[in-house]
């Protein structure tokens, strides 16, 4: 728990399309522009998904990620950048790990690591034990820190297993995602159990799926955690689904709640120090010597 709040911005995701909402950023320039606006509002880190330029469908291509990361680093060289390594659409290690091959000024600080397979409403995200271990090992080799994504308490236990195998090392950052149909639900009991099970030396954020986003964000702010927020998880501004949100709408609302609770958003520089990340401004990720 920390007084200053980690604000993890998730602008795009894999599901929202322009048919669902005109506000979701899909192209490289749209994503970069939304991140620029977000940095002006105030965020700690960004969790990126890339889309194919012609089809708009999700892509693992490191060359697309390079354009997004490079565009962001021009105006926010300290911002902590996480790239998605999702298993929803891609099943091969060389696909899912492709963004981890970026280097120099394009190197991501973090990569998402979902700690088990799970079902969403209409699709499965397959994360076999071998895939999880292989991605963790690749991130360790590259000096890229896992953004540990958990949808149920058992996934936290798997993180402790990875720690015993020396594939991941503290300090940790966990996203606790609640409200998915087949996983932990967005209520106090599920959230409390998951928070209680987290390993020592952990920073964490709560996320809520769909209408549960504002509830989980509000809860986390009130009890000392961070938040994950953006159109990836929820495209609506109101619970009644009468108004489509922009990413700026969601971020500004979080800032109002943060201020009402007497808290402040953690700066990227502060988060880098807490996570033993390189300082940014040309050096990114975590020095591999700190991963042993």
Tell me if 290 is assigned to some domain: no
Beta pairing partners, 236: 244
User: In the chain, at which residue ranges do the beta strands (DSSP E only) sit?
Assistant: 4-5, 7-9, 45-48, 50-51, 58-59, 80-83, 110-114, 118-119, 124-125, 145-150, 172-178, 202-208, 226-229, 264-265
Tell me if 169 is assigned to some domain: yes
Tell me if 69 is assigned to some domain: yes
Q: Specify whether the CB–CB gap between 136 and 93 falls below 8 A.
A: no
pTM: 0.96
Which two tokens mark 251?
């971020």
Distance spanning both ends of the chain, measured CA to CA: 25
Q: How many helices (H) and strands (E) does the chain have?
A: 9, 14
Contacts of 190 (CB under 8 A, 6+ apart): 153, 178, 184
Q: Specify whether the CB–CB gap between 112 and 74 falls below 8 A.
A: no
Domain that holds residue 16: 4-284
Which two tokens mark 265?
């958003």
**Per-residue pLDDT for the chain (292 aa), expressed as one digit of tens each?**
458 999 999 999 999 999 999 999 999 999 999 999 999 999 999 999 999 999 999 999 999 999 999 999 999 999 999 999 987 778 899 999 999 999 999 999 999 999 999 998 888 889 999 999 999 999 999 999 999 999 999 999 999 999 999 999 999 999 999 999 999 999 999 999 999 999 999 999 999 999 999 999 999 999 999 999 999 999 999 999 999 999 999 999 999 999 999 999 999 999 999 999 999 999 999 987 666 5
pLDDT, tens digit (0-9, with 9 covering 90-100), for 88-114:
778 899 999 999 999 999 999 999 999
| Total number of domains in the chain | 1
Tell me if 289 is assigned to some domain: no
pLDDT, tens digit (0-9, with 9 covering 90-100), for 139-192:
999 999 999 999 999 999 999 999 999 999 999 999 999 999 999 999 999 999
How high is the pLDDT of residue 1?
A: 45
Tell me if 291 is assigned to some domain: no
Q: For position 61, which CATH number holds? A: 3.20.20.70
Q: Specify whether the CB–CB gap between 30 and 11 falls below 8 A.
A: no
Contacts of 262 (CB under 8 A, 6+ apart): none
């Amino acid at each position: 728990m920390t007084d200053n709040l980690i604000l993890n911005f998730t602008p795009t995701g894999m599901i929202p399309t322009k048919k669902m909402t005109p506000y979701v950023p899909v192209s490289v320039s749209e994503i970069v522009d939304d991140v620029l606006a977000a940095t002006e509002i105030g965020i700690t880190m960004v969790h990126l998904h890339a889309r194919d330029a012609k089809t708009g469908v999700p892509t693992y291509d490191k060359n697309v990620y390079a354009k997004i990361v490079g565009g962001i680093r021009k105006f926010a060289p300290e911002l902590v950048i996480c790239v998605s390594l999702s298993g929803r659409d891609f099943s091969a290690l060389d696909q899912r790990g492709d963004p981890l091959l970026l280097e120099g000024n394009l190197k991501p600080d973090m990569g998402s690591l979902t700690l088990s397979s799970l079902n969403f409403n209409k699709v499965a995200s397959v994360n076999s034990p071998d895939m999880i271990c292989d991605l963790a090992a690749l991130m360790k080799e590259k000096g890229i820190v896992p953004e540990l994504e958990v949808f149920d308490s058992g996934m936290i236990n798997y993180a402790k297993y990875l720690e015993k195998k020396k594939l991941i090392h503290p300090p940790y950052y966990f996203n606790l995602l609640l409200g998915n149909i087949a996983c932990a639900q967005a209520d106090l009991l599920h959230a409390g159990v998951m928070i209680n099970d987290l390993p020592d030396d952990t920073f964490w954020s709560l996320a809520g799926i769909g209408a549960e986003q504002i509830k989980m964000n509000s809860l986390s702010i009130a009890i000392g955690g961070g938040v994950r927020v953006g159109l990836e998880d929820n495209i609506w501004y109101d619970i009644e689904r009468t108004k489509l949100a922009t990413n700026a709408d969601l971020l500004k609302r979080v800032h109002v709640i943060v201020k009402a609770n007497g808290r402040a958003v953690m700066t990227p520089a502060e988060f880098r120090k807490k996570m033993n990340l390189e300082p940014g401004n040309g050096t990114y990720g975590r020095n591999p010597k700190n991963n042993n």
